[in-house]
Chains A and B, each alone.
Chain A
Amino acid sequence: MSSVRTEELTRPNRKATEEENKFKVIGTRPVRPDGIDKVTGKANFGADIVLNGMLYGAIHRSKHAHALIKKVDVSKALKLEGVKSIITHSDLATLKPTDKNSNVNFFDLARNVLAKDKVLYDGHAIAAVAAISQTIANEAARLIEVEYKILKPVMNIKTAEKKNTPIIDKNIFTEGLKEPAKKPSNIAKKVEFLLGDPDKTFEQAEIVVDRKYSTQTVHQGYIEPHACAASYTKDNQATIWCSSQGAFMVRAYTAKLCGLETSKIKVIPAEIGGGFGGKTTIYLEPLAVKLSEKTGRPVKIVMNRTEVMRATGPTSGGTAHVKLGADKKGNFIAGLIELKYEAGAFAGSPVGLGCMTAFAPYNLKHVKCTGWDVLVNRPKAAAYRAPGAPVAAFAVESAIDELASKLQMDPIHLRLKNCATEGTTAPYGVTFDKIGHKECLEAALNSNHYRKKLKPYQGRGIASGFWFNIGGNSSAEIMINEDGNVTVATGNPDIGGSRASMAMMAAETLGINMENVKPIVADTESIPYSDLTGGSRVTFATGKAVIEAAEDMITEMCKRAAKFWKVDPAQVEWKNGKAICIERTDIEPMSMKQIAKIAFKTGGAISGKANINVKKGAGPGFGLHICDVEVDPETGRVTVLKYTAIQDVGKAIHPSYVEGQLQGGAAQGIGWALNEEYVYSKDGNLMNTGFLDYRIPVASDLPMIETILVEVPNPGHPFGVRGVGETPIVPPLGAVANAVSNAIGRRMTDLPLNPIKILSEIG
């Protein structure tokens, strides 16, 4: 990709070539191992699975946003020839509200995959059918009759908060209040993060910006709809083929909802056509398993786009109220933010993460972040790249832009003056190690983009973004095959080019070429437990497991060489892909190919493994985006003219795929800022259930997203890797909104900035 090259000369922080020469494989751009299959249509995704005797599933969904289910009549549907079984919520395991762990509330999850007593959003699943053909299954789903008592829907935060408003879930009492809540509420939780004494400190501020912002519900927009096939056998074991961000997650969640022991289920990961966080939960798998159990035949269920939009995880729309105080020189003094996020019909919006990330890019001693988790009759929010952060960053970065113009200061200089660096304590309590926010800001100042002149009705916006990045549980196994080539297995579905980076890290560690390493994504019975692919953790944590597994195998290979050479193992070292006997020039070093040949003689097949929980060292990611737009003053239409995404990526293992992450995050964020939103009717029915009217950007809507990779190596990883997948979606909302605001001379605070909204502002 040429995007980086244009900026290469001006790139700061490009440390010596010495550092780069250290690596042979890392930092190069080989073709990805899964690439050929994907571009030739050979890759098997969730919907591609075909099994002998397979039945087809379909789901009857609610046409109401909020209603009591009085009766579900399946008699007509069952009479249809070819229909084999129909299930409802009562066919799932019986769960209690206390059935939850730190990640998930299974009581809610079960009521989400099949409604219990009450439907909570338009498209809420009520019953699932299995039949001998898709056509018959669809017809049967249509023939299911549901008798409702319709309730008034609660479609937004304003309505949810009102007194005497309908209560979506009578078991919800607001958590986190000083006085325990006595009455049920649509507000599930209040969270608060406090640093210093912001209320008092505000009195010292010479300049204060104080403004409210709002955003709408948006979907991840993965191209592949949810799909799975399940086969339940007479010995009460189930196998599931599906695309997801975590086969172990699917196994654990499905087991719980089906009342099975975890080990009775095997999940075989299919290729995944995008997830972005949306496939960190389940919708279809327990239904397919139960239908398969009832019919004794495999069952496949594939959603269509309308079902994806109506019933799978979007991320929260929300409101933000920001107050930011500074002195006349532009030093930030105190910051306040109050966030309210729509959780959908079940508690659990990412509002806490919004609070924690809001001011994280800045050195502020006095901060208060308050968050409210609000239930509305919309689908249950699921994770979406850097969950919670983009909305908070939109508000804070807009406020900083406004502050910069009040101070008549360059917005990058203002950020430089206040940016978090090593030693800064973030509002959520962590003191940063080596981070690269400052380096990103400097790279922006030095970029050709930032020097480019603008014309009338054009505007430039910049915004920073932060994401924690996490570690977690990862497993890797590595083995030499008989021919001396290597297979690396991990338990993490490849959603962002991770097979390439796993193979490259293994090759680098072993001192061999990447072509000699085959990376695979193993099923739940072929590799020990791994946390799901998410949180920008895989290249960092699973990469670390791969490196350790490779080192483990190196130890074994050295032992085998020593045995073969009849020397002390302490005399054998691994160098440049070969075992070397030190101090013995008469012994020829042994390559992997040769070691493979002596494996059986010296004790059997050779492999290495690492099963680790990476608790420390996931270096946080910072990014800065520059966006130029042009606004058509007569129609309000925005054209993105030029866009640059800059990010501290630690060390880019495969720079093209790191750039791809930056470009993809920017593209999704631009869509979020300009045109994407869920549009509901007065009665709570989703009006734009397809990509025609839910407008994610198409290729021609965007300029080439240029990238600048800043590499401040993460001290917590052997190769300096930081997670990169989530940070890139944090800045675009603010960058685009600031650009539009600067183009038209009016502060735009309500996303999306579609032509109608802009024209009504300027026309």
Chain B
Amino acid sequence: MHQMNFAAPKTVAGAVKLLVQNKGRSKVIAGGTDLLVQLRMGKIKPGIIIDIKNIKEANQITIEKNGVRIGAAVSGAVVGEHESIKRNWPGVVEALELIGSTQIQGRASLGGNLCNGSPAADSVPALIANEAICRIAGPNGKRDIKVQNFVKSPSKTILKRDEILTSLFLPDKPNKSSSAYLRLIPRTEMDIAVVGVAASLTLDENNKCLDAIICLGAVAPKATVVKTAKKILVGKKINNDSLATLGMACEDTCDPINDTRGTIAYRTKVAGVLAKRAVQIAHTRILEKANL
């Protein structure tokens, strides 16, 4: 019979110690909105569940010199009420808030969404488009790594078995920047992205594109940056022509699968559509911010 222990350490060091002791038989829980479902369905049988909700670092939002640091276990509901995060990283907030229902929002976290390693995770493309950085703690101390490099393949991350994700850092953006996240689901809520697209956009004083990062979700084994997007948009106005080219580039970047949620053809086509719309939303947000 499967026996399982539970621990709720108060420090990162305590959590790491437990991870080391349990040699890969442990699972870290934040909100548990993915983990508990997997446990109940019998997909995982951990020897110990390590709860990080009592660890201060993982549960606070700190404004730092060059950006904001969000604890890995901070819930979507808390992030969604943080004025400066909402103002500066609207794409990240709207992606995180799309996860689950109001009840789930009280538990779901950026860290959990990332560590689950799903190609369809809503917040991950938004984090990548905003160049977010993971802080990882292990027996040898801390290390930082780009979110873009965190997920290796579905359900697989670069975390070693004795490491833990403690926080995510969002670097500050230039003034004329904004972001957006859109996903396609057949329903309006309580669903998993068939396609997700995050766009982060920065404009120059003439409202031409200064920088752009587009990241696609659910159309490849992991969230994927559209490499040609920068080249297509930088130096140009955001208009139908530039967006049409971007749409095609997004379609070319897609490497999706057929499954019960979507077909290859559908995902590819809609990735282009949502990318254009996401850039437009980010564009509008910048202009609205400038008019305030």
Interface residues of A (CB under 8 A from B): 80, 135-136, 138-139, 142, 306, 634-637, 674-675, 679, 687-688, 691-693, 695, 697-698, 700-701, 754-756, 759-760, 763
Q: Is B269 located at the chain interface by the 8 A CB criterion?
A: yes
Q: Does B270 contact A (CB under 8 A)?
A: yes
Tell me, in angstroms, the Cα distance from A637 to B269 when the chains sit together: 13
Contact of B186 among A136, A634, A695 (CB under 8 A): A695
Kindly state whether residue B2 has any CB partner on chain A within 8 Å. yes
Q: A675-B186, A698-B190 are in contact. Are A635 and B1 (CB under 8 A)?
A: no
B160: interface (CB < 8 Å): no
Q: In the assembled complex, which residues on chain A have CB atoms less than 8 Å from the CB atom of B191?
A: 692, 695
Name the one of B2, B41, B260, B273 contacting A635, with C-beta atoms under 8 angstroms: B273
Q: A687-B260, A692-B191, A759-B266 are in contact. Are A674 and B273 (CB under 8 A)?
A: no
- Decide: A139 and B1 in contact? CB cutoff 8 A: yes
Q: Does B184 contact A (CB under 8 A)?
A: yes
Q: Which B-chain residue is minimally distant from A633 (CB atoms)?
A: B273
The verdict on A698 contacting B188 (CB below 8 Å), with A687-B260, A693-B260, A756-B262 known, is yes
Chain B: interface size category: 20 to 34
Enumerate B1-55 residues with CB–CB distance to A below 8 Å. Answer: 1-2, 41-42
Cβ of B265 under 8 Å from chain A: yes
Check A695–B269 contact: CB distance below 8 A: no
B192 at the interface (CB under 8 A from A): yes
- Contact in complex: B273, A695 (CB < 8 Å): no
Chain A nearest CB: distance from B256 CB in Å?
12
Cα of A410 to Cα of B192 in the assembled complex, Å: 40
A555 to B273, CA, bound (A): 74
Complex CA gap A697/B269 in Å reads 25
A167 to chain B, nearest CB (A): 29
CB A639 to nearest CB in B, in angstroms, measures: 8
Judge whether A700 and B188 touch: CB under 8 Å.
yes
Given contacts A692-B191, A760-B266, contact A139 B2 (CB under 8 A): yes
- Contact B1–A637 (Cβ < 8 Å): no
Question: Given contacts A136-B1, A755-B184, is CB(A635)–CB(B189) below 8 Å?
Answer: no
Contacts known (A139-B1, A634-B273, A760-B265); A701 close to B260, Cβ less than 8 A: no
A546 to B261 alpha-carbon distance, docked (Å): 50
Q: Which residue of B lies closest to A757 (CB)?
A: B266
Contact B189 A700 (CB under 8 A): yes
Distance A687 CA – B192 CA, assembled complex (angstroms): 15
Q: Which residues of B contact A80 (CB under 8 A)?
A: 1
Task: Give the docked Cα–Cα distance between A756 and B262 (Å).
Answer: 7
* Nearest CB of chain A from residue B205's CB, rounded to whole Å: 32
Distance of A58 Cα from B264 Cα, bound (Å): 39
Total A-B pairs, Cβ < 8 A = 60
Q: How distant is the Cα of A306 from the Cα of B40 in the complex, in angstroms?
A: 12
On whether A755 and B266 interact (CB within 8 A), knowing A634-B273, A635-B273, A688-B260, the answer reads yes
Q: Which of A635, A700, A755 has the most CB of B within 10 A?
A: A635
CA of A80 to CA of B2, assembled, Å? 12
* 18 sample A-B contacts, Cβ–Cβ < 8 Å, listed by A number: A136-B1, A142-B42, A306-B41, A634-B270, A635-B184, A674-B186, A692-B190, A695-B186, A695-B191, A697-B187, A698-B187, A698-B188, A698-B190, A700-B188, A701-B187, A755-B184, A759-B269, A763-B269
Given contacts A135-B1, A688-B260, A693-B260, contact A701 B188 (CB under 8 A): yes
* Distance, CA A51 to CA B41, complexed state (A): 26
Query: Which are the 4 A-B pairs with shortest beta-carbon distances?
Result: A700-B188, A634-B273, A756-B266, A679-B260
Q: Is B239 an interface residue (CB 8 A)?
A: no
Q: Determine if B263 is an interface residue (Cβ-Cβ < 8 Å).
A: yes
Complex contacts, A636 vs chain B, CB 8 Å: 266
Query: Do residues B192 and A756 form an inter-chain contact, with CB atoms below 8 A?
Result: no
B226-278 contacts to A, CB under 8 A, are 260-263, 265-266, 269-270, 273-274
**Least distance between A78 CB and chain B CB atoms (Å):** 15
What separation, in Å, do the CA atoms of A589 and B263 have in the docked complex? 76
CB closest residue in chain B, given A688: B260
Contact of A755 among B42, B186, B274 (CB under 8 A): B186
**Distance A763 CA – B273 CA, assembled complex (angstroms):** 12
How far is A48 from B147 in the complex, measured between Cα atoms in Å? 45
Give Cα A139–Cα B42 distance, bound, in whole angstroms: 10
Q: From residue A384, how far is it (CB to closest CB) to chain B in Å? A: 21
CB distance from A632 to the nearest CB of B (A): 9
Question: Which B-chain residue is minimally distant from A135 (CB atoms)?
Answer: B1
In the complex the two chains form, is B189's CB within 8 Å of A698's CB?
Answer: yes
Chain B hits for A687, CB < 8 A: 260
Residues in chain A near residue B186, CB distance under 8 A: 637, 674-675, 695, 754-755
Task: Tell me the bound Cα distance from A637 to B189 in angstroms.
Answer: 14
Q: What residues of A have a CB within 8 angstroms of the CB of B265 in the complex?
A: 760
Enumerate chain A residues within 8 angstroms of B42, measured Cβ to Cβ: 138, 142
How close is A657's CB to chain B, nearest CB, in angstroms?
A: 26
Distance in Å: Cβ of A212 to nearest Cβ of chain B: 23
Given A135-B1, A634-B270, A695-B187, 5 extra CB contacts under 8 A: A139-B1, A635-B274, A688-B260, A700-B189, A754-B186
Docked complex Cα distance between A692 and B192 (Å): 8
- B262 surroundings in chain A (CB, below 8 A): 756
CA gap between A636 and B261 in the complex, in Å: 14
What distance in Å separates the Cβ of A41 from its nearest Cβ neighbour in chain B?
15
Determine the chain B residues whose CB is within 8 A of the CB of A759 once the complex forms.
Answer: 266, 269-270
Task: Give the residues in chain A near B194, CB-CB below 8 Å.
Answer: 755
Please measure, in the bound complex, the distance between the C-alpha atom of A759 and the C-alpha atom of B274, giving whole angstroms.
14
B156-211, CB < 8 A from A: 184, 186-192, 194
| Residue numbers in B under 8 Å from A138 (CB-CB) | 42
